[in-house]
Structures are given as structure tokens and as C-alpha cells.
Amino acid sequence: MPIEFAERLKALPPYLFKELDRIRDEVKAKGVDVIDLGVGDPDRPTPPHIIQALNEAAADSKNHQYPVYSGMNSFLTVVANWYKRRYGVDLDPKTEVCSLIGSKEGLAQFPLAFVNPGDLVLAPEPAYPVYRSGTIFAGGTVHFTPLLEKNGFLPDLKAIPKDILTKAKIIWVNYPNNPTGASASLDFYQELLALAKEYDLIVASDAAYSEVTWSGRPHPSILQAPLAKERAIEFHSLSKTYNMTGWRVGWAAGSATLIKGLGLVKSNVDSGVFQAVQFAAMAALEGSQDSVEAMGRLYQTRRETVVQGLKAAGLTVFPTEYTFYVWVKVPSGLKSADFASKVLNEAGVVVTPGNGFGPSGEGWARIALVQEVPRLKEAAERLAKLKF
């Protein structure tokens, strides 16, 4: 008998970018200078003071053994202090914060702590795929909450059927949003928590992009809402804020019960974040935030550069002051995949078709601003020449 994958792997959605990858390789093979704006991974290096903190901590043998899986007390305290400074939110570092090996790890494992086989989980689409795969791995079933332009890419909470709400265990949200760039208000979080209280839901909020902004003010945290401590958990990452995607460090914060459940899963699966990386993360959170502000301004400039080219081609984008993504509307009559192929074939620019993030992303494409301005200028000039 051939070896078969488990049903949970078979239940994962197919990889939608195969055809696009094939065309990209074909275009590259022709010698075209392809500009890749596909993957959402910051191109700039980690700021030097963070690297230095890693180097120093890595040289100290006290950091060479297993860390506490939930995070060093000093790290958890730095996170709690960050919430106090940033949002005026009080957290008990011992019970309301947990370190993560990158937030993706926490997002994927969280459902294992609270979802029983057959339970419903509400997740947005278009979205980062991990809310869905984590649910599938836990044996749960996903009910999607579509994010539509007419609602500012927020879920229409009133449109979720009552019987679905009654059966659901968790509702996922992600603001500032990947892929749309949409943001949420504290009022939205409050409305969401009120609904969650009515139907006994857990609210899981992915805030990976909260610091990627040029708005001059922090994106709200769900933990600012009074009901949050009862039933919300927020996932945070240093990846996008400090250009640290390869370092694998983040945290979860919120309801002590939810943190405890996540911690129980984690203590059986992983052994925490390398302490030297935790020291580096502390240096990132407590040190100068000049680099964060500078990155925000840089993404704004990069965005304006690309949007100019898109506008010249007659295309429109969803406006935002958050994330390093441009969410561009595909001209009517074209599918997202056709648009992405055309842009690749005729301009040599890789963009991600919106339907790859879920069916409601059809009609849109995502452009990641992860190249330097001169390169983006080149991309914009090529895009400007496209005829639709």
C-alpha cells in the first residue's frame, strides 16, 4: 500500500499560485528582469541595536539551555510594559502574556486548545491562510466571514447567521489587514466583543501589522476594550515591525484562560524561544523606535510610487495608512489570475491574485512594497504602460 497523508492534510486548500509560479519562471527564463512584489517579507535588514543585543546574549552561556516555554519573566514584563505605554492596557505578565516562536506558531496552535472536532470557527476571507489551517488541524470546521469593499473590508457582523454564531467557538480577525490593508476602530472591536459575549465566542485578533503605519497614531488594540480580558486574545509579532521575519519571535496577550490553554498546548509541542532572541526582542521593544517610524514613512513613499503607476494605468487601490500592501482593484471583466498573468507577462512584475487569499479576494490583487524605491519606480513605469 502506498503511504497516504492524513485526512487533515488532504483537507487543506490547493496551492493556488502554481500557474503563476510557472509563468514567472517562464518569463524569467526569457531573460526578463522580473520585479517580485509577491511575498510579504520585509526587504530591509533588522536594526543594528537589535542584532547587537542578540550577539551579546548569544555569547552568554546562561542562554544556551532550554528556555521556559512561556517566555522569560523579563520578556513577559517588557511586553506588559509595552501595552501599558502604547495603549494604557494593564496586563499581568505571568498569566496574561505568552511568548511565541513567531506569531504564526501561536495562530496555528491556538485552536488546538479550544476547538473540539466538529466545532465551528469563524475566519475572514480573503486572509492569511493560517486561521483556516489551524482550525482544520484541530478538527474544526471553518465558516468564512467575507471581507468586502463596501464594508471597508471588515466582517459584516450582523450578516452572520444566528445558528452559525450559536455553534461557533472562535472568531478570528486581523487588523491592520493582510491582504487588504484595511484597519479597524476600537468601536468595531467593542461591537465584536459584545457579539462574542452574547454568543459565548472567543475573539482571536491577529495584530501582526499594528506598528506598520505612517498614520502617526497606533492602530487600536482589542485589549483596550473592557470586555477583552474575558474572552479575547491578541497575537503580536516582531517580524513586520522590526524586519525580523527570520528571527521567529512574537507573543500572545489577553484573557488568562486563553493564554493558559495556548500554553498547555505549547508546553507539549515546543520548548520556547531561544533566550538570546528574547533578549533581542526586549531590545527591540524597549529601545529607540526611530527605525519603526522611518520604515512607516518609507512604506508610505514606496506606496505613493507604485500607486502613481497604477493610477496612470487607470487602476484604483483601496486607500490605507497601514501595512506594506497595496490592494488594487482588477479592471472589470478580468479575473484576478488573468490580471496577475498580464502584469507579469507585459510588465515583468509579480503581484499576488486576490482570490489566492479566498474567494472574496476575486477582483483584486496584492502588491507587497518590499523593494527599494528606484526598483518600485521601474515597476511603476512599466505598470503605467499597461492597457486594459
Ligand X SMILES: *Cc1c(COP(=O)(O)O)cnc(C)c1O
Q: Is 103 in the site for ligand X (CB under 6 A)?
A: yes
By beta-carbon proximity to ligand X, the closer residue of 284 and 347 is 284
Does 40 interact with ligand X (rule: CB under 6 A)? Answer: yes
Number of residues that bind ligand X (CB under 6 A): 14
DSSP string, 200-244: T-EEEEE-TTTT-B-SSSPPP-GGGSTTHHHHEEEEEESTTTTT-
What track of x and - describes contact with ligand X for positions 223 through 242 (by CB under 6 A)?
--------------x-xx--
Residue 152 vs 331, nearer CB to ligand X: 152
CA pseudo-torsion sign 238, 225, 129, 37: negative
- Under rule CB under 6 A, residue 245 binds ligand X: yes
Residue-wise DSSP of 169-190? EEEEEESS-TTT-----HHHHH
Q: Which of 104, 132, 231, 382 binds ligand X (CB under 6 A)?
A: 104
Handedness of CA 260, 262, 265, 268 (dihedral sign): negative
Q: Does position 206 bind ligand X by CB under 6 A? A: yes
Name the region of 22 (left: φ>0; alpha: ψ -120 to 50; beta: rest): alpha
**Looking at beta carbons only, is 39 or 59 nearer to ligand X?**
39
**Among 46, 109, 133, 178, which residue sits at the site for ligand X (rule: CB under 6 A)?**
178
- Tell me which residues in 117-136 interact with ligand X (CB under 6 A): 128
Element housing 143 (H / E) = strand 141-146
Q: How far is the CB of 237 from ligand X (least distance, A)?
A: 3
Among 67, 71, 102, 354, which residue interacts with ligand X (rule: CB under 6 A)?
102
Q: Which is nearer to ligand X, 220 or 250 (CB)?
A: 250
Q: How far is the CB of 105 from ligand X (least distance, A)?
A: 6
Q: For the chain, what is the largest distance between any 2 Cα atoms, rounded to a whole number of angstroms?
A: 62
CA–chain centroid gap for 139, Å, is 23
- Our CB check for ligand X shows the closer of 27 and 175 to be 175
- Whichever of 53 and 252 has its CB closer to ligand X, that residue is 252
**Closer to ligand X by Cβ: residue 219 or 240:** 240
Four-residue CA torsion sign, 197, 199, 201, 207: negative
Place of cell 492534510: 9
Site for ligand X in 270-299 (CB under 6 A): none
- Please tell me the distance from the alpha carbon of residue 27 to that of residue 268, in angstroms, as a whole number: 46
Of the ranges 96-104, 263-271, 331-339, 377-385, which one interacts with ligand X (CB under 6 A)? 96-104
Give whichever of 206 and 321 is closer to ligand X, judged by the CB atom.
206
Among residues 168, 208, 370, 379, the one that binds ligand X under rule CB under 6 A: 208
d(CA 222, CA 185): 9
For residues 187 and 115, what is the distance between their CA atoms, to the nearest angstrom?
Answer: 27
Rounded to the nearest whole angstrom, what is the least distance from the CB of residue 112 to ligand X in the complex? 17
> Among 46, 70, 174, 291, which residue sits at the site for ligand X (rule: CB under 6 A)?
174
Residue numbers of the site for ligand X (CB under 6 A)?
A: 40, 102-104, 128, 174, 178, 206, 208, 237, 239-240, 245, 250
